[in-house]
Amino acid sequence: MKDVAALAGVGLATVSRVINGVAVDPHLTGRVLDAARQLGYRRDTAATSLRRADRRTSTIGLVLQDVANPFSSALHRAVEDACVRRGLLVLAGSSDEEPERERELLGVLLTRRVDGIVVVPTGAPDGELAAAHRDGTPVVCVDRASPVPGVDTVTADNRGGVAGAVRALHALGHRRIGFVADHTTLWTARERHQGFVEATAELGCRARPEWVGRDVHTAEAARQAVTGMFTTSPAPTALVTAQNWLTVGARRALVGLGLHHAVAHIGFDDFPLADMLDPPVSVIAQDPAEMGRRAALILLARLDGDDGPARAVTLPTRYIARGSGEIPPPGR
Amino acid sequence: MKDVAALAGVGLATVSRVINGVAVDPHLTGRVLDAARQLGYRRDTAATSLRRADRRTSTIGLVLQDVANPFSSALHRAVEDACVRRGLLVLAGSSDEEPERERELLGVLLTRRVDGIVVVPTGAPDGELAAAHRDGTPVVCVDRASPVPGVDTVTADNRGGVAGAVRALHALGHRRIGFVADHTTLWTARERHQGFVEATAELGCRARPEWVGRDVHTAEAARQAVTGMFTTSPAPTALVTAQNWLTVGARRALVGLGLHHAVAHIGFDDFPLADMLDPPVSVIAQDPAEMGRRAALILLARLDGDDGPARAVTLPTRYIARGSGEIPPPGR
DNA sequence: TAGGGTTGAGGAAACGTTTCCTGGCGGGTG
DNA sequence: CACCCGCCAGGAAACGTTTCCTCAACCCTA
């Protein structure tokens, strides 16, 4: 910058003004821009945000469960889209559901002085998250309830979604319904389980502990759990799986048992190619892109000075009937 | 930091030393750490990298085609994994195959003074990429050849992979083989097409222009192209699709025509659930995670001072026979 | 005991930028 | 014609760190 100023024969302040688009003698502006181009000048964001009055870095942090999970990457993309329009860059990382890693990641982001944070919280009490919120860095929790109070959240209607699926299965005549969910530490897993419990109770379905798998975290674990569930007697006639990978694992199990056309199955969260499996898989779809978009919009509003009370957006889920959920119980 | 120094009753330099783990009187260290904790002190990365001798920001940039594409997100994850171990943070963005967006993104990354860049280049001549390389910021191109010479690259053996698939189809008796590829601007699309052309020529297959679709960019476009291809006469008896979304589009087309068990089909690049379709889809698999890992390792080596000649790693592809590629031609 | 060497902490400069403040110049008015 | 006001560009301070340099204190040796 010093060199640019020297080459253009102006002061540093003028170069700064030109770079920042502040009105300046057009003649000087031209000289500065020429000099900058000639020297390949590039303003340093670190120094800029260090000195700037608002201390903004034009960067927001995004803490996902795993950038490679389709749900997460759709979310990532939606947040990115909302942010580029505002000239913000997204710093994304994977927590892998580990509270320790989440804290670490948040720490790094805060150290980088991000303007705001969008996080899919592991749910563990998190000092870093609380600190960020306390220090005035806007935080938005997506997909799951916030472990610290007073934070904006965007979640799906997990309970209602699962309950709706259970009711649909019941209406088809199913009375023995199995359920498989992720780690109990996860808010979504608990909510979905709760939705299942409430709906089955309300409908008077028989519930057996061996028809409910909890703390099932991978597709492979789901395959094993479902295989076990359907080789006991009596076995359920229908199944609800509470996460996309578990749904896939369950499909593998049912295909393996030759039951894929015999057992009704509804998964929570849509996934690519669900419509191309045999039979096509019915799902309770959430809209990760919309969740990301809403979260980003709230964050941007906070960055624009919105200091209203914490918002808690709940997005509806949508049942997509494709076939696997429309299989009647045997004998009907 | 000033406050910490005051509270601990030491100089700024001492606080800096303690924070950076430089040996200091254990008694003072304790006082400083206590004061820091008490005040919630957090060192500012911007200021740090501004002053630091090596000017390192502990951040690397990653420019992907689309963070939501499974290939990209697997790559992203692999790069992230390799980097966290070194305490580096990953700044990722989507170029959407638009050279303009790629330039913009690279510009923002360079302005942020990232330590290095991993990029899936659109292929358009890119001044920013060239500038980064020239200015000494290590750059590694993944998946595609670099538009600027002298840059490290990690690519898959696209040509060989497609040629192998064509040979396998030929060995099964297929003589009329269709091919669908992405935008001709993409290096991978050109390479894969080249592999197809070379292999068919070598084997003496009849080639018809209407059996080759190029510049097909979306799953829907692929569906239409393949539907058209298989409703002409004579139609191919086998099909190779050169990208994962095109493969999916082609599956939809074949299912729509009722030909999914009649036409042999091999896709380039594996995708989740390929094994669960009907029939399971045979693919030429590349290993995006390995590509990301290798790219990250090269980048880290460069950051460690490796200034050897540019490396060009070509990773082998692997044919995965699942069924769709093993369908013989009619009458055999 | 005195001097030199070594160790370790503090002060201040520097990193690249923005922003405040000052000073010069030009134009308008009395 | 002279004075005052306003505008605009330049100089310098400041942002939060690291690092160089200085200086004090201590120990060891002559």
- The share of chain A scoring above pLDDT 90, in percent, equals 90
Would you state the pLDDT for residue A332?
Answer: 64
Distance between CA atoms of residues A94 and A89, nearest Å: 17
Closest C1' nucleotide to A12's CA: D10
Quickly tell me which residue has 């965007």 as its tokens.
A154
In B, minimum Cα distance to A78 occurs at: B68
Mean pLDDT of B274-285: 96
Q: Is any Cβ of chain B less than 8 angstroms from the Cβ of A65? A: no
Element (H, E) at B140: strand B139-142
CB < 7 A contacts with chain C (nucleic strand): A 1-2, 12-13, 15-17, 19-20, 41-44, 47-48, 50-54; B 9-14, 17, 23-25, 28, 47, 50-51
Would you state the pLDDT for residue B74?
Answer: 95
Nearest to B276 among A49, A77, A251 (CB): A251
Nearest chain A CA: its distance from B110 CA (Å) = 8
Would you state the pLDDT for residue A170?
Answer: 97
Neighbours of A309 (CB within 10 A): 7
* Mutant choice from B49, B112, B261, B277 vs A, greatest count of A C-beta within 10 A: B112
* Mutant choice from A110, A111, A283, A293 vs B, greatest count of B C-beta within 10 A: A111
CB < 7 A contacts with chain D (nucleic strand): A 9-14, 17, 23-25, 28, 47, 50-51; B 1-2, 12-13, 15-17, 19-20, 41-44, 47-48, 50-54
Nearest chain B CA: its distance from A297 CA (Å) = 19
Confidence of residue B332 (pLDDT cuts 50, 70, 90): low
Q: Is the pLDDT of residue A165 over 70?
A: yes
Distance between CA atoms of residues B287 and B275, nearest Å: 16
Q: Is the pLDDT of residue A317 over 70?
A: yes
Average pLDDT, whole number, for chain B? 94
Alpha carbon distances (Å) from B227 to B133, B175, B180, B208: 44, 19, 12, 16
Mean pLDDT of A222-240: 96
DSSP 8-class letter at A149? T
Q: Is any Cβ of chain B less than 8 angstroms from the Cβ of A131? A: yes
Of A111, A109, A92, residue with least CA distance to B48: A111
Would you state the pLDDT for residue A263?
Answer: 97
The pairing of beta strand B152-156 with beta strand B312-315: parallel
- The share of chain B scoring above pLDDT 70, in percent, equals 100
Distance between CA atoms of residues A266 and B237, nearest Å: 37
Q: Lowest-confidence range among A166-170, B35-39, B140-144, B190-194?
A: B35-39
Give pLDDT tens digits for B85-131: 999 999 999 999 999 999 999 999 999 999 999 999 998 988 899 99
- 3-state SS class at B114: coil
Would you state the pLDDT for residue B69?
Answer: 87
- Cα B12 to its chain centre, rounded Å, is 44
Quickly tell me which residue has 């990641």 as its tokens.
A105
Q: Which two tokens stand for residue B199?
A: 């292999």
Q: Is the pLDDT of residue A76 over 90?
A: yes
The more confident residue out of A154 and A27 is A154
Distance between CA atoms of residues B218 and B224, nearest Å: 10
Give pLDDT tens digits for A86-95: 999 999 999 9
Residue B85: exposure state from Cβ atoms within 10 A (0-12, 13-18, ≥19): exposed
Output b/e per residue, B305-317; b: 16+ Cβ within 10 A.
eeeeeeeebeeeb
